[in-house]
Amino acid sequence: MAADQSTTNDASAAQGEGDAFSDHLRVGLLGPVLAWRDGSEISLGAAKQRALISALALNADKSLSHPWLIEALWGDDAPETAVQSLYTYVFELRRLLEPARPHRSARLLVSENAGYRLRLDPERVDAVAFPRRVAQARQLLAAGRHEEALEELESALEMWRGNALTGIPGPYAEAQRIRLEDVRLAALEERAQVLLATRRHEEAVAELAGLVKEFPLREKLHSLLMMALYRCGRQAEALEHYTLARSRLVAELAVEPGKDLRGLHERILRGDPALDFAADPLRPARALPVVPRQLPSDVPDFIGRSAALARLEEMVARPSPAPVVISGMGGVGKTVLAVHFAHLVADRFADGHLFADLHGFDPAREPTPPGEVLGHWLWALGVSPALIPDELDAKATLFRSLVADKSMIIIVDNARSAGQVRPLLPGSASCLTLVTSRRRLTGLIAREGARDIGLEAFARAETVALLNAVVGDRVAAEPAAVATIVKLTGGLPLAVRIAGARTALGSARTLHGVADRLAADRGLDAFSLAPGDDAADLRAVFSWSFRALGPAAARLFRLIGLHPGPLLTAPVAAALARTSLAAAHQALDALSEAHLVQESGPGCFRLHDLISAYAVELAEELPPRERASVTERMLRHYLHTAHAASLLLIPPGGVSPLGPQSSAGPFASRAEALDWFRIHLPNLAAAVPLAARTGYDEIAWQLPLVVWEYLLLTKPWTAWLPAYRVALEAATRVGDRAAAAWVQHDLAFAHKCLRHFGEAYVLFQQAHRTRHEIGDRWGRAWSLMGMGTALSSMGRHAEAIVCLQPARAVFSQVGNTYGESMTLIGLSEACSAMGRYEDALAFAVLALEEHARQDGQLGMGYALHCAGHACRLLGRDGEAVGYLERALEVRQRMGDRWGRAQTLKVLGELLCDGGQVTIGVDLLHQALRTFSQVSDPLAEDICAFLAASDYR
């Protein structure tokens, strides 16, 4: 694709130029968003534009994809025009950042990997440099170098000019504001602690007095101020401040101070001499265990899960006896979330907390019986062992009675079934019960009204944050390795922690080393830390879920390892397992319940990449003959179904390269066929190389040909070029020259659509030569037409007509009216480009009449578009609008998304030039959205038109 090539060249050139541009630019985000070039401030435009450069600067010198940026700027409220708006903002920023450089040759804000990269040294972004300075200060503190640490903290804090990202909209900016403010507050607290440690107590009092007014609910600031006052000999004021702080917390949050603040208050009351000399002035007082405190320790680097935490907070605010089920695949962090949230709210539950691991999926032992758990809990609640009943029902009744009036957190971890959990549920809304399981425990939801929180893998930003928490500053130093680790871990928290631990523990010296091993190791080998530690071994973790499956679901999961694409439906599952559709549905439901597959749409299921790798390993254990049989059965299912769908898309007069089907397909309408292709297209693309690898060359070349009719409507050519190349190799291997010519022709058309005109012409020529040698006169005509359209695209219009005219004659002689009509359209386009507008219109009208006679709706859409374009060039705008509006109607009806966008583009430009700017721009944005989705170069053309004409 021409645009992609220029993008790649731009990025390469930018790298070749090194950091020449980044030395001139500086970005400030710790306050109003500003940028300076060579010391002079640059105007950054509207709020969304500033939001975009903020996101890019916070990730300086990292490639950010279009979907990531859209999510960052709009979140769930992204408008339909988000993609085109993004293009516009990038265009404007390039103009502002590099005013002397053309848009397509930008060297600072470059296009890269279907996204953008701001080529800027991260140290030249204050919001990136600030946390690094704070981290450096902490290292100095750890080394006992207090004065240097104080200087580093003060230098970092001086970077702030106001509230971070002032006035910047969007969820990403809001999240970053919170994060940066937290880092700033932590830095302020650490500065105060350094002042206390260096006996500058009066200075600390002055500093902290202002901070507690600004952040009156921050308990640590209150503790520091009380300590500073006490060390200044102002014990009474310290105690008075505690009273004020407590009143504020009770009045605004309805909570008592935390145990650290309470403990410091008690120590000041009794004049604890250790307060004058303690290395840590806020060391908490030791408390007597008067209530059960069974929570495991919280992870020190908890990351993400903001939506789940917010839902849990809502549930605490609305008490209910119904439990909360936190479910998700193994390694996704269910227990971590439950324990972390319990620690967050522990102070609100005065009667303590109970915890039990039910070992529901532990292969080394049987699941813990609920009676055993109840025995431990009753003893923790003060019941003498002699008084604990033997029967399960009696234990459950006694437990419910004891906790009926208590305010407690109860965590039931790693549950296998609803029956294992039910006896452990309190009957009171005063207790919060959190249940974690790899299964959804739908029985609890249906019968007990359990509230469900399903966890999925982390998004990219959360994955990077977790990796950073595990390994520290190395993340910023090795962005390429981080990108690889993010991709290969799939955002699964356990996988990220294992990868990070390899670096932190020295089993790989750098993140690059870890990334290289993850990329090189087969399957899940790299995702284990130590022999025998199954909890830190992904293969073992996944195996626990697999072993808990029933026979049918377990067999299907193993067979899924042979499936090549990302999505699975029940008919495909039935083909894999050679079972009925109903049985396939039941097996998929069981896998979904176990979180081994995830429902991504009605009837569609997806596997996490690492779960998929585990399924592949299981499939490799099958006997070779069974693997081959299952693979062939699946491939033939896809070929048969795709062929049936394609027959409903072929226009009148068109012919399928595979001919008619011997049996009826599963589709009742063209709309159903289109929908099937839309869902299964990625699977079909992946099936082509699989067929070639496994010896099914005939299927490998046939699949792209039967998908052709759908590709013609949607034009996702970039994704399909590799499949067509594999198909060509397969057809050549089997010696089927006619098949090879078909594939060459379709591959050439794809290259032409991507503006690779030279490659397209060569392929059309090769197909023409082959068809001439095998005597395929009809195929030669198609190749001639292809050569003509490629030549016309290269500006060689006279030569194009020399090819198109004989192609038209051959089609006429063999009676192929569809081919003749399409050649007329090619002649119309060539004549338009040569300035022969009347001839162009005449050819288009002839083509329209011929397609109308055959009721060829798809061809009519092409012809109407060409007629409208010719009328526009002739200055007959009224006729042009009429033709183009009819073309839109036909192309919409036929599901021709790309063709509709093509017509929207021409009509939008016509209306803009005619003064109907509002309507025209709206049509252009609709076209831009479609072209952007398939990475079509016409997207850039629309952006250039809008920018050049100032119609944005």
| pLDDT score recorded for residue 428 | 85
Query: pLDDT of 698-726, one tens digit each?
Result: 999 999 999 998 998 888 888 899 999 99
| pLDDT score recorded for residue 566 | 84
| pLDDT score recorded for residue 562 | 95
The lowest-confidence range among 11-20, 197-206, 292-301, 641-650 is: 11-20
**Banded pLDDT at 950 (limits 50, 70, 90):** low
Residue type, 136: Q
| pLDDT score recorded for residue 502 | 76
- Residue ranges of alpha helices (H) inside 775-916 are 777-793, 797-814, 817-834, 837-854, 857-873, 877-893, 897-913
Q: Are 764 and 745 in contact (CB under 8 A)?
A: yes
Contacts of 583 (CB under 8 A, 6+ apart): 552, 574, 577
Query: What is the token pair recorded at 654?
Result: 């068109």
pLDDT at 21 over 50: no
| pLDDT score recorded for residue 728 | 96
| pLDDT score recorded for residue 15 | 38
The lowest-confidence range among 281-285, 759-763, 926-930 is: 281-285
Q: Are 793 and 752 in contact (CB under 8 A)?
A: yes
| pLDDT score recorded for residue 632 | 95
| pLDDT score recorded for residue 664 | 57
Mean model confidence pLDDT for the chain: 86
Among residues 754, 684, 744, the alpha carbon closest in space to that of 898 is found at 754
Q: How far apart are CA 826 and CA 791, in angstroms?
A: 11
Q: Nearest 5 degrees, angle CA 896-CA 902-CA 908?
A: 125
Query: pLDDT of 30-53, one tens digit each?
Result: 999 999 988 888 888 888 899 999
Query: pLDDT of 585-622, one tens digit each?
Result: 999 999 998 889 988 888 899 998 899 999 999 999 99
pLDDT at 278 over 70: no
**Banded pLDDT at 61 (limits 50, 70, 90):** confident
Q: Which residue has the higher pLDDT, 403 or 723?
A: 723
Q: How far apart are CA 906 and CA 926, in angstroms?
A: 12
Query: pLDDT of 803-859, one tens digit each?
Result: 999 999 998 888 888 889 999 999 999 999 899 999 999 999 999 998 888 877 888
What share of the chain has pLDDT > 70, as a percent? 92
Among residues 685, 452, 738, the alpha carbon closest in space to that of 564 is found at 685
Among residues 156, 220, 212, the alpha carbon closest in space to that of 183 is found at 156
pLDDT at 902 over 80: yes
Backbone angles phi, psi at 528, to 5 degrees: -145, 150
- Given the DSSP bridges, would you call strands 409-415 and 432-437 parallel, antiparallel or unpaired? parallel
Spacing of C-alpha 934 from chain mean position: 17
Query: pLDDT of 376-389, one tens digit each?
Result: 998 888 876 656 77
| pLDDT score recorded for residue 397 | 85
The lowest-confidence range among 13-27, 518-532, 652-666, 667-681 is: 13-27
| pLDDT score recorded for residue 251 | 84
The lowest-confidence range among 74-88, 237-251, 339-353 is: 74-88
**Banded pLDDT at 301 (limits 50, 70, 90):** confident
| pLDDT score recorded for residue 8 | 33
Residue type, 272: D
What share of the chain has pLDDT > 90, as a percent? 41
The lowest-confidence range among 444-448, 518-522, 676-680, 690-694 is: 518-522
pLDDT at 662 over 60: no
